[in-house]
């Protein structure tokens, strides 16, 4: 059974296109030079509509996490880890930490992006302990 499937929009298509190539891309504002996640029409820092896609390191730190013992659909096998990852570039994103025992992870753990191919269109960014 497949996970709940994201549907790219014209705005977010570059994110998913880069993910298919196993690269993590987030928006960077060419006006105030800050990054943001998730993708938007405008920069939430300065309001400018001058956002460019930038491939980032894919490195990050665990801001917080939870070990889910129940799942919203049978596509998830429990237990699984859902985490807020703070990217080295600043923004935070929600993700899973995969191939990781709950005892191995803590707030502050260093992680590296990886990609979980759901199908030919969607490769979902997930993280592994670095």
Residues near other proteins (CB under 8 A): 3-9, 12, 37-38, 63-73, 75-76, 79-80, 82, 84, 92-96, 102, 106-108, 118, 124
- Give the C-alpha separation, 15 to 115, whole Å: 12
Q: Look at residue 13 and give its three-state secondary structure.
A: helix
Please answer whether residues 123 and 116 qualify as being in contact, where contact means their C-beta atoms are separated by less than 8 angstroms.
yes
User: At its nearest, how many Å lie between other proteins and the CB of residue 88?
Assistant: 16
- Closer residue to other proteins in complex, CB, 82/129: 82
Q: How far is the CB of 12 from other proteins (least distance, A)?
A: 6
Tell me how far, at minimum, the Cβ of 45 lies from other proteins, in Å.
12
CA atoms within 13 A on the CB side of 69: 1
SS3 83: strand
Helix (H) or strand (E) holding 9: none
Residue among 59 and 80 whose Cβ is closer to other proteins:
80
In the bound complex, what is the minimum distance in angstroms from residue 95's beta carbon to other proteins? 6
């Amino acid at each position: 059974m497949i996970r709940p499937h994201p549907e790219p929009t014209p705005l977010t298509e570059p994110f998913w296109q880069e993910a298919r190539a196993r690269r993590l891309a987030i928006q960077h504002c060419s006006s105030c030079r800050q990054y943001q996640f998730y993708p938007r029409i405008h920069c939430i820092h300065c309001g400018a509509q001058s956002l460019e896609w930038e491939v980032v390191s894919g490195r990050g730190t665990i801001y917080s996490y939870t070990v889910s013992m129940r799942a919203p659909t049978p596509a998830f096998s429990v237990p699984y880890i859902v985490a807020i990852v703070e990217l080295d570039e600043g923004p935070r994103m929600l993700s899973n930490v995969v191939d990781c025992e709950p005892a191995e992870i803590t707030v502050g753990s260093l992680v590296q992006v990886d990609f979980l191919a759901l199908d030919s269109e969607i490769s979902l960014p997930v993280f592994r302990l670095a």
